[in-house]
Structure 1
Amino acid sequence: MKIAELKIFYFEDDGIIPNNPDLPVLIYRNALDHPHDAEELFNRNQWLNSWTNGIYDYHHYHSNAHEVLGVMEGEATVQLGGEMGEEVTVHKGDVIILPAGTGHKKLYSSPDFKVAGAYPNGDEYNLKKGSLRERPSVLIEIKNVPRPSLDPVFGETGPLIKYWLKKMV
């Protein structure tokens, strides 16, 4: 496995979607040699509690878990980071790694679009939509989500190790 291109995005809190103050979103272009086996690959690297489906078409985030999304089929345009964030088009074989708190929303997808999703160590995930009454508690939750020990695609190596784990020191 290799990455054709690595995209790195840092998003600030926009007052509605908190995003992650410390960790970037990582997009691995064309990283999946066998996109239909994405869920199995993630599970081998201890990203568990997995599923296959799509991406919600409204802004949401998970304050208690990081998330990996592997595009198994088709393509989609996804808005990352909330209303003021980035629109990114992903294709079959691409992987998006979202740190806890990062907003994401599907804007468009091909009819065959399908992703596999998973969470480090099988963490249970919540679904937050940016309610103001959630703010104080979600900001604390996001800061307290442990960093994964393995990259969901490359295991003990890969960009996640460099950009998420090396920053701890």
Structure 2
Amino acid sequence: MNEIISYDIKPTKLIPNSPKQLLLYKNVFVQDGKVDITRVYDTFLKNGWDVQWVTRYGRTQRSHYHPETHEAMIVVSGPGSIRWGVADLDDDDEKHTYGDVREEGGLLMEVNVGDVLIVPAGVAHKNYDPFTANPDFKPLTGKARGIESDDPRAMVQNVELEGFTMMGAYPRGLNWSWEEKGDPSTFEACWNVEVPTLDPVFGVEGGIRKYWN
């Protein structure tokens, strides 16, 4: 791994974001230009983060955040784009993805194979692929709340990757919901979500244990 980059994503009128930093780990689990997806799966599970989905992204996605859990995502094929920290202000996906019908500010990030994102509870994000011929996202392992297989490890290992695809995991025991806009009275609850005991990549040393404590 080459570097860790941290970002401060401040609250907006509609999005809590977080005093905890968004973390980007570059070039993780990459060998010969490809992610060792089985090694990622095993490492996340060993560190108490349960893999719940592998998804190929389309041209747009609604900006959203998870109020009750942190999230780890790794790019297993790419490249793609992620916009952080702001709410969409129109139901037209084209306008809020390619136009400016969204809150001011935010962070636009280009990501590629081997990028791991550690997302604090409350931080808004939308994952999308501006150049794909596939207009919609496509879950590759079920319905995004658990790998739908009697052998989830084998399913992840054998998934067919294309376009901008990510794998997502959450601290064991925590469920996630999808929120697009919030009331400031709820923001503090997001900020107080407990820090997991282990970082999904580094375990007890480094990562969230360094940046979030």
Say whether the fold is shared (TM-score over 0.5): yes
Q: Counterpart in 2 of 1:15?
A: 13
For residues 24-51 of structure 1, the C-alpha deviation after alignment (integer angstroms, 9 at most, x for no partner) is 0000010123442223321111011521
Give 1:136 shift.
Answer: 2.1
Matches within 5 A, 1:59-70: 59-70=63-74
- The equivalent position to 1:127 in structure 2, one of 153, 175, 178, is 178
Give 1:70 shift.
Answer: 0.8
Q: Which has the larger radius of gyration?
A: 2
Give 1:157 shift.
Answer: 1.4
Q: Counterpart in 2 of 1:36?
A: 37
Say if 2:172 is the partner of 1:117.
no
> Is the Cα–Cα contact under 8 Å of residues 61 and 101 in structure 1 kept in the other structure?
yes
More RCO (CA 8 Å, sep 6+): 2
2:117 maps to amino acid: I
> Is the Cα–Cα contact under 8 Å of residues 78 and 88 in structure 1 kept in the other structure?
yes
For residues 93-137 of structure 1, the C-alpha deviation after alignment (integer angstroms, 9 at most, x for no partner) is 1100000000101242555211111111241011000144xx423
SS in 1 for 2:212: helix
Matches within 5 A, 1:1-169: 3-20=1-18, 22-33=19-30, 34-37=35-38, 38-48=40-50, 50-54=52-56, 57-82=61-86, 83=103, 84-108=105-129, 112-132=163-183, 135-137=184-186, 139-165=187-213
Q: Percent identity?
A: 31
> Is the Cα–Cα contact under 8 Å of residues 129 and 164 in structure 2 kept in the other structure?
no
**RMSD between superposed Cα atoms in Å:** 1.9
> Is the Cα–Cα contact under 8 Å of residues 69 and 97 in structure 1 kept in the other structure?
yes
**CA pair 75-117 structure 1, distance change in 2 beyond 3 A:** same
Q: What is the TM-score normalised by the length of structure 1?
A: 0.85
In structure 1, stretches of 5+ residues that fail to align are none
> Is the Cα–Cα contact under 8 Å of residues 6 and 26 in structure 1 kept in the other structure?
yes
**CA pair 142-131 structure 1, distance change in 2 beyond 3 A:** closer
SS in 2 for 1:126: coil
Count of matched residue pairs: 159
What is the CA–CA distance in structure 1 between the aligned matches of 2:128 and 2:12, rounded to whole Å? 19
**CA pair 121-89 structure 1, distance change in 2 beyond 3 A:** same
Q: What is the TM-score normalised by the length of structure 2?
A: 0.68
Tell me which protein shows more strand as a share of its residues: 1
> Is the Cα–Cα contact under 8 Å of residues 70 and 94 in structure 1 kept in the other structure?
yes
